[in-house]
Amino acid sequence: MRPLRFAIIGAGMAGILSAIKLTGAGFTDFTIYEKGERVGGTWRENTYPGLSCDVPSQLYCYSFAPNPEWSHVFSPGEEIRTYFEDVARDFGVDTSIRFDDEVITCEFYDGRWHLETHAGHRDEVDVVIAATGVLHRPKFGDIDGIDTFDGAWFHSARWDHSVKLDGARVGIIGTGSTAVQITSALVKRVAELTLFQRTAQWIMPQTNPSFTDAQKEQFRAHPEQLEQMHDSLSVLFGGFAKAVVDAQSPEIQMIEAACRSNLEENVADAVLRERLRPDYRAACKRLIISPDFYDAIQQPNAELVTSGIERVESGGVRTADGTLHEFDVLVLATGFEVDAFMRPMKVVGRDGRTLNEEWAARPNAYLSISIPDFPNFFMLNGPNGPVGNFSLIEVAELQFSYILQLIELLKSGENREVCATRIAMDTFEAERVEAARKTIWTTGCSSWYLDDRGVPAVWPWLFERFQSEMASPKLESYDVA
């Protein structure tokens, strides 16, 4: 048996999962490298007002660590971060984390991966688990004059909690899920709130009831009820997964009808209603779930601006119609660099081939896990996975069970290197691109799902196929040496 050393990059949801699963499989020689000061990943990076998850709480937790203490059906961000902190501590993996020490170089030679961190720490490992996540590097956009603004300004993922908001004039640039949540949370606190909308969004109506003390006590006393709730929610989300991968499905038609009714029944002013009406199909962009956005944007102190932004000036935002919108605070809800993954970390595989060279056209990986010529390097929630279809925790659990089977090949000592073949990746990618043509994501909108070709960089099949693929690796698809 060959002893193996591991590096896990990232201490968010997937990194914590990796450490726990490695330990459970008998692998205890690992270090988790985390660029931040605490665990939590995207739930550490994002602390903006109104932050919550758009996946139900009982689906957005580990199968091995159900949580009876969630306060709401859709959990607030702070509770999710606390949950991950608690799980890391309870399973004893927090002691294996190097905080504030970002990996800057990861190079494969002499049969092992050689890592260097920002602090100058060096490590040599047999296997790298890249658990760096997707939504963690803010995209600021190309906004002319932003540095000239006299007030406070910041990205939503770098929220400045020292800035006074109560009674302030606040501008929000962006209309994705983050901007919608911030709008709902702030509109009754601020003097004026202006939302700059480049593209209207469909809003799926969804209440977010709290769990009562009695319900929580019942969950504690009967943990099987949490499992039952998880399974029933999983079935419901399976319907959503079916809807988005088939643009002609009855399920997507039901979603579209619900979104249209939400807009038409809850926005009183006909002019505002049409400005809020998207010109593409519901769920073409990531569907936004909100119980109260339409109410928030209709408050007397709220304004929706659809004229394009020309530039930012010292006093506010100048739009293309010549209007200067004056603010005290400007929030950039402009999203993330979703194609970065573990970059800007320098990753070098066999024969000096860099990840930037491999991904010169666009990020790609076999089953979102393995890259040809980058042996013993495995990703969780890598390129082209089910990021738009299901709970990423369940996705990551399935992926890691798959990865563990590949690691067993190395543990035996018979094999020292394993990575996907180029034929396997190219064949899979061709099939994926063809299947993507039938999804809702290709029906006429621009979204962060689409790559440079206009192809959705997500899993285009039913979740059952993903479960089947993750059950066992097809070894003929791997270069095993």
Determine the pLDDT at residue 338: 87
Please indicate, yes or no, if residue 158 is contained in any of the structural domains. Answer: yes
The yes-or-no verdict on residue 237 having pLDDT over 90 is no
The yes-or-no verdict on residue 231 having pLDDT over 90 is no
Rounded Cα–Cα distance for residues 453 and 416 (Å): 36
Do 375 and 434 fall into the same domain? yes
User: Which of 332, 359, 382 is a domain's end point?
Assistant: 332
**Mean of pLDDT values over 65-88:** 96
193 is written with which tokens?
A: 């709130």
Please indicate, yes or no, if residue 213 is contained in any of the structural domains. Answer: no
184 is written with which tokens?
A: 């709902």
Do 158 and 119 fall into the same domain? no
pLDDT digits (tens, 9 = 90+) for 241-274: 899 999 999 999 999 999 999 999 999 999 999 9
Rounded Cα–Cα distance for residues 410 and 375 (Å): 11
Please indicate, yes or no, if residue 74 is contained in any of the structural domains. Answer: yes
Rounded Cα–Cα distance for residues 87 and 19 (Å): 11
The rounded percent of the chain whose pLDDT value lies above 90 is 92
Domain coverage including residue 274: 146-207+232-332
User: Which of 294, 317, 332 is a domain's end point?
Assistant: 332
Rounded Cα–Cα distance for residues 451 and 363 (Å): 9
Please indicate, yes or no, if residue 225 is contained in any of the structural domains. Answer: no
**Mean of pLDDT values over 279-307:** 97
pLDDT digits (tens, 9 = 90+) for 295-353: 999 999 999 999 999 999 999 999 999 999 999 999 999 999 988 899 999 999 999 99
Do 190 and 278 fall into the same domain? yes
Determine the pLDDT at residue 59: 92
Three-state DSSP class for residue 114: strand
Per-residue pLDDT band at 240 (split at 50, 70, 90): confident
Do 163 and 28 fall into the same domain? no
Do 348 and 471 fall into the same domain? yes
Rounded Cα–Cα distance for residues 275 and 306 (Å): 8
**Mean of pLDDT values over 417-430:** 98
Please indicate, yes or no, if residue 215 is contained in any of the structural domains. Answer: no
Three-state DSSP class for residue 344: coil
Do 406 and 438 fall into the same domain? yes
Per-residue pLDDT band at 233 (split at 50, 70, 90): confident
Maximum Cα–Cα distance for the chain, whole Å? Answer: 71
Q: What is the pTM of this model?
A: 0.96
Per-residue pLDDT band at 387 (split at 50, 70, 90): confident
Cβ(289)–Cβ(300) under 8 Å? no
Cβ(170)–Cβ(196) under 8 Å? no
Helices (H), 222-304: 223-245, 250-266, 270-275, 293-297
Instruction: Name the residue among 419, 380, 347, 402 with its Cα closest to residue 11.
Output: 380
The mean of the pLDDT values for the chain is: 96
Total domains present in the chain: 2
470 is written with which tokens?
A: 């993750």
Do 317 and 400 fall into the same domain? no
Please indicate, yes or no, if residue 126 is contained in any of the structural domains. Answer: yes
**346-352 long-range contacts, CB within 8 A, separation 24+:** 346/104, 346/105, 346/106, 346/107, 347/106, 347/107, 347/374, 347/377, 348/105, 348/106, 348/107, 348/108, 349/108, 349/373, 349/374, 349/375, 349/377, 350/108, 350/374, 350/375
User: Which of 315, 332, 349 is a domain's end point?
Assistant: 332
Rounded Cα–Cα distance for residues 14 and 129 (Å): 9
Determine the pLDDT at residue 481: 93
- What is the rounded radius of gyration, in angstroms, for the C-alpha atoms of the chain? 23
161 is written with which tokens?
A: 């909690």
Per-residue pLDDT band at 183 (split at 50, 70, 90): very high
Do 63 and 197 fall into the same domain? no
Please indicate, yes or no, if residue 422 is contained in any of the structural domains. Answer: yes
The CATH code of the domain that includes 327 is: 3.50.50.60
Do 301 and 398 fall into the same domain? no
Q: Inter-axis angle of helices 213-221 and 223-245, to 10 degrees?
A: 100
Per-residue pLDDT band at 370 (split at 50, 70, 90): very high
**Mean of pLDDT values over 21-39:** 97
Do 324 and 354 fall into the same domain? no
Please indicate, yes or no, if residue 198 is contained in any of the structural domains. Answer: yes
Rounded Cα–Cα distance for residues 380 and 395 (Å): 8
pLDDT digits (tens, 9 = 90+) for 115-151: 999 999 999 999 999 999 887 789 988 899 999 999 9
Do 194 and 316 fall into the same domain? yes
Rounded Cα–Cα distance for residues 467 and 34 (Å): 29
Q: Which residues contact 353 (CB under 8 A, 6 or more apart)?
A: 373, 374
Do 89 and 151 fall into the same domain? no
Task: Output phi, psi for 9, to 5 deg.
Answer: -105, 110
Measured CA distances, 128 to 6, 19, 32, 95, 119 (Å): 6, 12, 10, 19, 19
Determine the pLDDT at residue 377: 98
DSSP string, 348-414: E-GGG-BHHHHTSS----BTTTB-TT-TTEEESS-TTSSTTTS-HHHHHHHHHHHHHHHHHHHHTSS
**Mean of pLDDT values over 70-90:** 97
